[in-house]
Structure 1
Amino acid sequence: MKRDKKLKNPVASFILLSNIIFFPLFCLVGVISILEFPTWIFDVVFCMSSWSSTFAFVILFKKIFPDQSLIKFVKDQFKKKLKPSIIVIASMIQAAIFLIILFLISQNQEVGSTFTISSWGMLTYFFFKNLLAGPLGEELGWRSFAQIELQKQHSPLKASIIIGFWWGMWHLPIWFTTGFVGIDLIKYILFFMIALISTKIIMTAFYNLNQNLIIPIMIHQFFNFYIGLINGNMIDLIMYSAIFYLVAAVLMIVINPKNVLYGDS
Structure 2
Amino acid sequence: MNGEKKLKNPVTSFILLTNIIFLPLFILVGVTRMLEFPAWVFDVMLCISAWSSTFAFGVLFKRIYPGQSFIQFAKDRFRYKLKFSVILTVSMIQAFIFLVILFIVSNNSEADSIFTKTSWGMLVYFFFKNLLSGPLGEEIGWRGFAQIELQKKHSPLKASIILGFWWGIWHLPIWFTTGYVGIDLIKYMLFFMISIQSTTIIMTVFYNLNQNLIVPIIIHQFFNFFIGIINGNLIDLIMYNALFYLVVAVLIIVINPKKVLYGKKTQTFLMDNIT
Query: Normalising to structure 1: TM-score of the pair?
Result: 0.99
Q: What residue is the counterpart of 1:160 in the other structure?
A: 160
| Amino acid in the other structure paired with 1:28 | L
Match runs of 1:84-123 below 5 Å? 84-110=84-110, 112-123=112-123
Q: Is the 8 A contact 2:2 2:67 kept in 1?
A: no
Aligned mates of 2:14, 2:23 — CA distance in 1: 14
Q: Is the 8 A contact 1:194 1:246 kept in 2?
A: yes
- More displaced stretch, 1-10 vs 38-47: 1-10
Aligned mates of 1:112, 1:85 — CA distance in 2: 38
Match runs of 1:185-224 below 5 Å? 185-224=185-224
Aligned mates of 2:210, 2:2 — CA distance in 1: 37
SS in 2 for 1:154: coil
| Amino acid in the other structure paired with 1:160 | S
Matched, 1:241 2:241: yes
Q: Is the 8 A contact 2:195 2:241 kept in 1?
A: yes
Q: Is the 8 A contact 1:3 1:66 kept in 2?
A: no
Q: What residue is the counterpart of 2:250 in the other structure?
A: 250
Q: What residue is the counterpart of 2:47 in the other structure?
A: 47
Aligned mates of 1:105, 1:180 — CA distance in 2: 21
SS in 1 for 2:108: coil
Q: What residue is the counterpart of 2:139 in the other structure?
A: 139
- Which runs of no fewer than 5 residues in structure 2 stay unpaired? 266-275
Q: What residue is the counterpart of 1:130 in the other structure?
A: 130
CA RMSD across the alignment? 0.8
Query: Normalising to structure 2: TM-score of the pair?
Result: 0.95
Q: Is the 8 A contact 2:2 2:66 kept in 1?
A: no
Q: What residue is the counterpart of 1:21 in the other structure?
A: 21
1:2 to partner: Cα distance: 4.5
1:108 to partner: Cα distance: 1.5
Moved over 3 A (4+): none
- Which runs of no fewer than 5 residues in structure 1 stay unpaired? none
| Amino acid in the other structure paired with 2:81 | K
SS in 1 for 2:204: helix
Aligned mates of 2:90, 2:166 — CA distance in 1: 23
Matched, 1:230 2:236: no
Paired residues in the alignment total 265
Q: What residue is the counterpart of 1:56 in the other structure?
A: 56
* Per-residue CA distance 1:207-255 (angstroms, 9 max, x = gap): 0000000000000000000000100000000000000000000011011
